[in-house]
Structure 1
Amino acid sequence: MQPPFAGITRRPATAEATEADSAWITRVSAEPSNQQQSQAGSGPLDGLHFAVKDNIDVAGLPTTAGCSAFAYTPSEHAHVVERLLRAGARLAGKTNLDQFACGLNGTRSPYGPVPNALNPAYVSGGSSSGSAYVVAKGLADFSLGTDTAGSGRVPAGLNNIVGLKPTRGLISARGVVPAAQNVDCVSIFAMTVSTAAKVLQACIGYDEADPFSRRVTMASKPLPAKFRFGVPDTLEFFGDKLAEAAFTQSLEQLTGLGGTAVTINYAPLAQAAAMLYDSALVSQRYTAIQAFFDAHEEEVIEPVRSIIAKGRQYSAADYIRAEIDMLALSQVAGRMWQEIDVLFVPTAPTHYTIDQMQADPVALNRNLGQYTNFVNLFDYAALSVPSLMRPDGLPFGVTLIGPAGSDWQLADLGQRYHHATGLSLGATTRSLPEPAPIAALQAPATVRVAVVGAHLSGMSLNWQLTERDATLVEATHTAPDYRFFALANSQPPKPGLLRVEPGKGAAIALEIWEMPLTHYGSFVALIPAPLGIGTLTLADGSSVQGFVCEAQALTTATDITHLGGWRAYVNSLTHSTN
């Protein structure tokens, strides 16, 4: 048994609770005696307080999964909790959830519904409802949820916070009460992407005691500056015009960050999403708690009881057929990655009040999963980030989705997107801090090249740089040791740069561009003789790769050194014809 926590407050299963209390099932005091549970001052998460969804084990505290009859007190921390405490984080408590992590709305709990952090008349989203609420309200720096069908994303989108759903198996699920074990994963809520990414780094670790833990090859470079993002060919907002308008604005924002929208076939993704509850795959939910459910079915609340009981009706053959159908859909859906770098969807298509949800709990809950259910089934990574506040004061979030192992790429793009919104943090009035580098990403290898003629900004061949994701670094000059010529009979017109003896040349204007090294070879291949790439000395004495010219080609060229650069030469031609 781990050393006990001090100052524990446990809430009985009752719908009667204050708004803030409804998010918690067990609170833990921040007294110094609790710091024996962490390596305070010794890890990357030192000083951060966190909460865990109450289907994740914390030694000495009951794990209820939202059902008091199911509750047990573990003697060991869940693997992920142990890692967080070792990283210096401090536990604040365990949070309310849709019972047995079955739901996307936050109202399916005998401990009472968890309200939305910005408008308590509305749902918080589930099943990780309490974990999202305490972060949005600033009661915890980050929290753990779980995500099977969107429970780590929908509550983030509805509460104006970040929801990071990692690649399955990156974080061990040992010590987590499963919902559907072969598609579950532990998820992370935080105010900012950088905090969520820091927590993910602390959580990642192969665990041989978890049959679903795995070592994943992670993409280590950001997405290209110019990227393609997929948008479903059919979009459903269930009559919510404000959500529809919000997504249109979100598309414009992502385009402004360098993205190009590509329409993708959403049918196989939608078909997979439907199968999660409307096929033999739902038997996973029954299997997860079969012994308890068969003995205590009456202790499980509706509609959770009916959903889990539905899993009894399927045979092993039914389940195998469903798995084969899912693999076939995954193959079809996977073709989209040949055309796009990232998939972009609303986190949730609309927002319901608690009263609306309780009046029609199954259909409206299904609606909230319109853009989430397929992600774990297809082994994708996802990141939900805030996008804007709607005119009615409700938050609207968007989700970036990528193949397994794209977690750091999504974090990099998601942070850029989130910080471009200028939104406040969660349900607070605090402003976004400065963005922080995603430490796990390596900057792509680049090369700098100096251009002096038709490749300058606004000139006829500049597109050869920009289509290779090159960016302008600075405009400067060579050292005063070069002669500059306009080549004869070149189309489009081009200059030639020649190094000469000190005192016989001049400083020539140039631009320095930086491009990914992977594109450099194709750029150099476009350079026609007598031009080539050599080493240029700049005015400050440093060196850079740049355009040079063979000396014999300059015998018929016009010396334009006195003009100091190609742009001045082009301007002189224009003036001479006027």
Structure 2
Amino acid sequence: MKSLTIHQLHEGYREKVFTIEEVIDKALAAAHEYQEYHCWIHLLEKAEIMRYAARIQSFSMREKPLWGIPFAIKDNIDLANVPTTAACPEFSYIPKHSAKVVEQLIEAGAIPIGKTNMDQFATGLVGTRSPHGATRNALNPELISGGSSSGSAVAVALGQVCFALGTDTAGSGRVPAALNNIIGYKAAPGRYSTKGVVPACQSLDCVSIFANTMADVDLIDQQLTSEKMGTSAKRSRPKILFLPDQLEFFGPYAKLYELSWKQTAAYLKEKEDVEILEMAELQKVARSLYEGPFVVERDVAIGGFAETHPASISEPLATILKQAKQTNYSAKEWIEAQHFCQHVEDTLKEKLSGNLLVLPTCTGTWRIDQVLADPIFTNSQMGLYTNHCNLLGLSAAALPAPIDSKLPFGITLFSTPEDEALLKSYAAELEKEHAKTELVVCGLHMRGFPLEKEFRLRGAAFAYEAATSADYRLYELDTEPRKPGLVRCEGQGERIEVEVWKIPNDQLSSFIQTIPYPLGIGTVELSNGEEKLGFVCQRFPADCKHEITSYRSWRNYQLGLKV
């Protein structure tokens, strides 16, 4: 079910490719397969899940827009008759009713699978502050997943569910999306109900959505609000894109993140009218969330429980609550901070009317061991360009950057609440740029060969060098021009050196139609065990010139001919 969209699941249901029960079985199997990623706090039993499925059997997909779609719920959001713990077992309670947003999704036909892991009491942007273990990054388990909605994001990224609910106060619905190469959407504060959500900073808390596509986000968004927003519904592009005047990069991967941002900024400048936004006031707002009077609201939300259950509170959270108690901010300081935020909000929203602000979601990341060694500082860096959002009443969509990057690198688009239609539309445009399929290439489309130019004209880009598993043989086909044929011979082959390229999904189908028989596109197993689409010979090449497996690649064979 990895990376399946709502549309794809619905098509499968209509064509009777699979049933709801089979989809649920796969979701539960995937959850158990990736147990070491610590995505879940409470998985429902299959019988519990099937009761939700039974409710929708008499309805159509038109009547229930999320019919049969499995989803996950962050464990600070209530699901009726299932414990809510906020990653603190001693806090656990069993709600009689689901949170309003969960009720809306279930009413639309969605099927809850369980409650996901999180930074305790939704205080953290790293995904390591849980008694259930640090949630691991879906792409590299040594790296942090991001938080606090860690389990929800990773469950989507690993294909355990189609979408998930998180929450977002300082970036918890955006940072995990960026670090796991999925989409995180946060509507403006107040757009979605927070009834049935454990508060972290109640005046700023928002429910967020994790999904694989903006089309899915839009459909889920429609179920969570009946309010019609947006003066820019007919416009898919902003008049101006604002980019930051300066950025601070951090951590062991700072140079890679800086390079990715430079490439992203260059890409956007080629496509859109760009203006530079001074970041000083936004950064002052961002710092005020934890370094100003707003931090006191964290203590208001959970300080009483922490005082009576000190042993149950994670050490980083205990430190934050202690600092909040020691600050003794006056009412005057609180009002001054609110007035400053209002001033920045008014100024920024005037600039953003019909426009969008683009920032890197994160300007670095960490390994899990680095965060555990220094939990406060490492966490603070993750929110450099997310903390301001809710304080300024903005809407945001976090998505993978429209460039190739060696690490998961995401950007966030910010809009006024009135321009959420523009926000979603432009995010969908950028999403298309990132929607590419990796393709294993072993012949004339490789770098330096005659068909490379044709490949690049379709938007394909070289990704990395690789090798097949030791189950392949390579032949020179008796064609004009000469080309290789890669044939799988289980247990009787060698590792063949190949290249992996990325081709835009909207080009893949037409490209495949240009491939001459006996070549075709099939599954190629790489030396690391991964299976990817790639060039294969559809039958044993009786018309081959001769076998060239000993050369281990078409490139080596061509060099041998020159010698």
Equivalent position amino acid for 2:341 in 1: M
Please name the residue that 1:312 is paired with: 325
Please name the residue that 1:337 is paired with: 352
Structural mapping, 1:172-571, within 5 Å: 172-205=193-226, 217-223=229-235, 225=237, 227-238=239-250, 240-256=254-270, 258-313=271-326, 314-315=328-329, 317=331, 318-337=333-352, 341-387=355-401, 392=406, 394-423=407-436
Structural mapping, 1:58-97, within 5 Å: 58-97=79-118
1:6-48 per-residue CA deviation (whole Å, 9 max, x = no partner) reads x99xxxxxxxx96555100011244433325667644111121
Find the aligned partners of 2:125 and 2:312 in 1 and give their Cα distance: 20
Shift of 1:272: 0.4
Structure-2 change in CA distance of 1:433 and 1:43 (3 Å):
farther
Among 118, 135, 142, the alignment partner of 1:121 is: 142
Does residue 153 of structure 2 align to residue 132 of structure 1? yes
Q: Decide whether the 8 Å contact of 1:115 with 1:122 is kept in 2.
A: yes
Equivalent position amino acid for 1:362 in 2: I
Shift of 1:370: 1.2
Shift of 1:253: 3.0
Structure-2 change in CA distance of 1:54 and 1:140 (3 Å):
same
Shift of 1:298: 2.9
Find the aligned partners of 1:176 and 1:431 in 2 and give their Cα distance: 41
What SS is found at the alignment partner of 1:230?
A: strand
Deviates more, 1:246-255 or 1:132-141: 246-255
Stretches of structure 2 lacking an aligned partner (at least 5 in a row): 1-23, 26-32, 439-500, 508-563
Find the aligned partners of 2:81 and 2:56 in 1 and give their Cα distance: 15
Stretches of structure 1 lacking an aligned partner (at least 5 in a row): 1-6, 9-16, 206-214, 436-578
Find the aligned partners of 2:123 and 2:88 in 1 and give their Cα distance: 12
Structural mapping, 1:44-55, within 5 Å: 44-55=65-76
Please name the residue that 1:103 is paired with: 124
Find the aligned partners of 2:385 and 2:45 in 1 and give their Cα distance: 38
Q: Decide whether the 8 Å contact of 1:220 with 1:408 is kept in 2.
A: yes
1:415-437 per-residue CA deviation (whole Å, 9 max, x = no partner) reads 11011123459xxx9998779xx
Does residue 171 of structure 2 align to residue 150 of structure 1? yes
Please name the residue that 2:476 is paired with: none
Structure-2 change in CA distance of 1:37 and 1:361 (3 Å):
farther
What SS is found at the alignment partner of 1:51?
A: strand
Find the aligned partners of 2:116 and 2:158 in 1 and give their Cα distance: 13
Structure-2 change in CA distance of 1:192 and 1:226 (3 Å):
closer
What SS is found at the alignment partner of 1:406?
A: helix
Find the aligned partners of 1:132 and 1:342 in 2 and give their Cα distance: 25
Equivalent position amino acid for 1:101 in 2: A
Equivalent position amino acid for 1:337 in 2: L
TM-score by length of structure 2 reads 0.68
What SS is found at the alignment partner of 1:324?
A: helix
Structure-2 change in CA distance of 1:93 and 1:230 (3 Å):
same
Q: Decide whether the 8 Å contact of 1:233 with 1:264 is kept in 2.
A: yes
Find the aligned partners of 2:267 and 2:155 in 1 and give their Cα distance: 28
Find the aligned partners of 1:312 and 1:100 in 2 and give their Cα distance: 17
What SS is found at the alignment partner of 2:38?
A: helix
Structure-2 change in CA distance of 1:96 and 1:433 (3 Å):
farther
CA RMSD of aligned residues (A): 2.7
What SS is found at the alignment partner of 1:351?
A: coil
Q: Decide whether the 8 Å contact of 1:38 with 1:90 is kept in 2.
A: no
Find the aligned partners of 2:123 and 2:242 in 1 and give their Cα distance: 29
Shift of 1:225: 4.6
Shift of 1:226: 6.4
What SS is found at the alignment partner of 1:200?
A: helix
Does residue 56 of structure 2 align to residue 43 of structure 1? no
What SS is found at the alignment partner of 1:395?
A: coil
Please name the residue that 2:21 is paired with: none
1:210-250 per-residue CA deviation (whole Å, 9 max, x = no partner) reads xxxxx674335244656311111111112611111111222
Shift of 1:326: 2.3
Q: Decide whether the 8 Å contact of 2:149 with 2:176 is kept in 1.
A: yes
Find the aligned partners of 2:309 and 2:56 in 1 and give their Cα distance: 36
Equivalent position amino acid for 1:248 in 2: K
Equivalent position amino acid for 1:63 in 2: T
What SS is found at the alignment partner of 1:309?
A: helix
Equivalent position amino acid for 2:261 in 1: F
| Structure whose residues are more often helix by fraction | 2
Equivalent position amino acid for 1:399 in 2: T
1:493-552 per-residue CA deviation (whole Å, 9 max, x = no partner) reads xxxxxxxxxxxxxxxxxxxxxxxxxxxxxxxxxxxxxxxxxxxxxxxxxxxxxxxxxxxx
Q: Decide whether the 8 Å contact of 2:435 with 2:505 is kept in 1.
A: no
Find the aligned partners of 2:359 and 2:85 in 1 and give their Cα distance: 33
Among 27, 39, 42, the alignment partner of 1:23 is: 39
Q: Decide whether the 8 Å contact of 1:117 with 1:124 is kept in 2.
A: yes
Identity %: 38
Q: Decide whether the 8 Å contact of 2:296 with 2:325 is kept in 1.
A: yes
Q: Decide whether the 8 Å contact of 1:19 with 1:115 is kept in 2.
A: no
Find the aligned partners of 2:121 and 2:218 in 1 and give their Cα distance: 27
Equivalent position amino acid for 1:64 in 2: T
Number of equivalent positions:
406
1:360-406 per-residue CA deviation (whole Å, 9 max, x = no partner) reads 111111111111000100000000111257654x2111111011232
Equivalent position amino acid for 2:319 in 1: S
Please name the residue that 1:487 is paired with: none
- Give the greater-gyration-radius structure (CA): 1
Equivalent position amino acid for 1:311 in 2: A
Please name the residue that 2:489 is paired with: none
Find the aligned partners of 2:234 and 2:410 in 1 and give their Cα distance: 22
Please name the residue that 1:161 is paired with: 182
Equivalent position amino acid for 2:430 in 1: Y
Shift of 1:284: 0.9
Please name the residue that 1:467 is paired with: none
